[in-house]
Amino acid sequence: MFFAGSLGFLGALEIELIGGVNNFSFHPQSRMEHSDVRKFQAYPYGLLNLSFRGDLSNALAFDISVDRENVLQNTITGTLITRTDNFRFEFGLFAGISDNFDIPDAGITGIIELTLPGIGYLSFSGSSTLGSSFDFTSKNHRETAGIEIGYWYSENFILSASAEIKSFSRYIGQYLTIRDQFIRYQFSIEYFKKNSPFTVRVDTGYETLSRTYLRGAMVNIDELSALFAGVEFNWQITHPIRIKAGIELPVFTIPAAPLAVDAGFLGFFKAYTGLTYSFF
């Protein structure tokens, strides 16, 4: 019976591994404002996502993921998911670890999504560190919030618009706290065709990356905004294997004075690739 149950669990499992690089990033170890030298120096930050998703029953699923990205740095998240044809709710816990391997901070995360099949959907998401003042957690703090609305334009196209904000405050010492923040507004068009193994999504929008240095009553901010464009391809090679690849370019950068940028059209980019393996 245990063996049969294990096979049933494995048959509902999906594993995804994605890696890449994003150099629209501040250096994670920077302690001095770029404003002092009046020049933004891009840093090629490595990206990683490893997730395990599966069904526990017809109405309940789980997701365990390990993420590395340029603002929140490193997080481990576990969520439970309940869903119907018109509603999806996710709730779980996360632990965050900085690149300096400080004491982890921990918090909650969740998503609520409403769907009208064949018409559209609306989702809200958020997460926040809890208990950052306790002795067994760090003084770091992570927060995210997002909203997305989608519309089935036709049987082959989905149009969507989204907004998100995420921030990570790091307590460096008695006299310095650094807060990285990323705000993004995005419009997407996704193309798919029945019985075709390919899907394509084109993204465009506006984003702002900022780093705030808090030294007591002194506050300095480095801020860089950009108009961006990107594309993502998905290819279902075989029944269990799907490949994903994407690239994004901030095609026009707008630094907030006195910060300056001398990178050209290809000076900043985000690129990633990976695969998903399904056991069902």
212 close to 218: Cβ distance less than 8 angstroms: no
Whether the per-residue pLDDT at 145 is higher than 50: the answer is yes
| Closest of 52, 112, 63, 115 to residue 86, by C-alpha | 115
CATH number at residue 119: 2.40.160.40
pLDDT attached to residue 32: 64
pLDDT, average across residues 142-149: 97
The residue ranking higher by pLDDT, 16 or 279, is: 16
Q: Which domain holds residue 20?
A: 2-278
Confidence of residue 152 (pLDDT cuts 50, 70, 90): very high
* Two structure tokens written together for 28: 């994670």
Q: What is the pLDDT of residues 81-103, one digit of tens each?
A: 999 989 999 999 999 998 888 78
The residue ranking higher by pLDDT, 78 or 216, is: 78
271 close to 232: Cβ distance less than 8 angstroms: no
Whether the per-residue pLDDT at 198 is higher than 90: the answer is yes
Minimum mean pLDDT among 198-202, 230-234, 235-239: which range? Answer: 235-239
* Two structure tokens written together for 63: 């997701």
Tell me if the pTM is above 0.85.
Answer: yes
260 close to 38: Cβ distance less than 8 angstroms: yes
- In angstroms, the CA 148 to CA 112 distance is 11
Q: What is the pLDDT of residues 1-47, one digit of tens each?
A: 444 444 455 557 999 999 999 999 988 777 666 655 667 878 899 99
Whether the per-residue pLDDT at 162 is higher than 70: the answer is yes
87 close to 102: Cβ distance less than 8 angstroms: no
Q: Is 14 helix (H, G, I), strand (E, B) or coil?
A: strand
Number of compact structural domains in the chain: 1
Q: What is the pLDDT of residues 106-138, one digit of tens each?
A: 999 999 999 999 899 999 999 999 865 444 456
* Two structure tokens written together for 38: 């009046």
**Under 8 Å CB-to-CB from 99, ≥6 apart: which residues?**
28, 29, 73, 74
The residue ranking higher by pLDDT, 271 or 170, is: 271
Helix (H) / strand (E) element for 5: namely helix 2-10
pLDDT, average across residues 169-195: 90
79 close to 67: Cβ distance less than 8 angstroms: no
pLDDT attached to residue 21: 96
148 close to 184: Cβ distance less than 8 angstroms: no
